[in-house]
Amino acid sequence: MLFKLIFITLILGFGIHQKLSAFCFLADTDTVEKKMEKGSLVALPVAFYSPETKLAFGGIAINMFQLDPLDTLTRTSNVRTAAIYTTRGQFILSVDHNIFLKDEKYQLRGNVAFLKFPDNFYGIGNDTQLADEEIFNNNIFNFTSRLMRKVSPGVFIGGVYNLYTMFNIETEPDFLLETNDVPGKDGVRLSGFGFLASLDRRDNVLNASRGYYAEFSSRFYQTYFGSNFQFQQFEFDFRKYFNLHQNHVIATQFKSEIKVGDVPFQQMAMIGGDKILRGYYRGRYREKNMVVLQAEYRFQVCSRFGLAAFGGLGDVGDKLSDFAKDDFKYSYGGGARFTINKKERLNIRVDYGFGDGVSNFYINLAEAF
């Protein structure tokens, strides 16, 4: 705890007095922002912290652009490439993109990533014990591609393909992951197609202050697609943003996941991480189904500095009938924001979250939802 508090103090002090952000250690924030506005590729050294990675550092390249600079109605596209190494011995190479074509007739979203990622496993279900924490080694390759077409303003429909593999899994002989019949403990190869539809009425993709966003998606993993597990998954994500007053925003999110069939532990719905119920380790609770409701109050103190407070409730279960209000997990906390691009409202966020008997610290790029 003392280390975390000292680290937060140093980060915030640098951010205020030397224009050094918590995530991107920039020599001149204004210069970087101007390059972003011009659509230039900006390469930055990075450092961040999360309970899943501990202290992480590396490099990130951000390209924010419009395919047609004269098209003022199409939102800004972005491509983000990151190479990260962590003090847990993890390596992450990832490329994410969100591209709007002319007049937003089509939207391309996707990710390709390779990870060497020692991770924690606590078992499956909503009543696992923190004392049962185990660490296992693994390698991951993930490719996800979405193509969506605009059918009316803000309404998109399309398809998605996902290829996911986890291999080179290593654990101790007496660990739960090894001794129990956990689906996926020997590795997985998942290949599946699906459909999705979204309604996007946000004023900003990275940091909305008004409007709403709703997305429904499905994926079908089958052996004839090349998958060695067969199951279906359905996800629903709804977000609503309320602009209470100048510089005061309340963001809300409801998210649910339903998975049917032979679901490996790697693809079960999970609570925790820097986006879902901050405070819990990502995967602290995992099962086939999940529901989460969370909200965040955001206040912009001055041009580049803001504060936030958040809270949420959620749970996982094998069947929908397993959910009971007395079993729901809670999360709450707060943090600070530092804007590195005022035009796009792109923030570095520093959060501290609390759960039931746990607490964790996060430094990351862009808002949680």
> Domain with 84 in it: what CATH number?
2.40.160.50
**DSSP 8-state class, residue 321:** G
Q: What share of the chain is helix, strand, coil (3-state, %, to 5)?
A: 15, 55, 30
* Number of domains the chain contains: 1
What is residue 18's predicted lDDT score, i.e. its pLDDT?
30
What is residue 20's predicted lDDT score, i.e. its pLDDT?
30
281 vs 41, 53, 85, 231, 368, CA distance in Å?
Answer: 33, 10, 19, 25, 15
What is residue 173's predicted lDDT score, i.e. its pLDDT?
80
Q: How many Cα atoms are found within 13 Å in the side-chain-facing hemisphere of 119?
A: 22
Nearest-5° angle of CA 178, CA 183, CA 186? 55
Range of the domain at 106: 2-365
The whole model's pTM is what?
Answer: 0.82
Which DSSP string do the residues of 39-67 spell out, in sequence order? T-EEEEEEEEEETTTEEEEEEEEEEEE-S
Give Cβ neighbours of residue 191 (< 8 Å, ≥ 6 apart).
Answer: 162, 163, 164, 221, 225, 226, 227
Q: How many Cα atoms are found within 13 Å in the side-chain-facing hemisphere of 110?
A: 17
What is residue 36's predicted lDDT score, i.e. its pLDDT?
54
Per-residue pLDDT tens listing for the chain (369 residues): 433 433 333 333 333 333 333 333 443 455 555 555 555 678 888 888 999 999 999 998 888 888 877 777 787 888 989 999 999 999 999 999 989 888 888 989 999 999 999 999 999 998 899 988 999 999 999 999 999 999 998 899 999 999 999 999 998 888 888 888 899 999 999 999 999 999 999 998 889 999 999 999 999 999 999 999 999 999 999 999 999 988 899 999 999 999 999 999 999 999 999 999 999 999 999 999 999 999 999 999 998 999 999 999 999 999 888 888 888 999 999 999 999 888 888 899 999 999 999 999 999 888 999
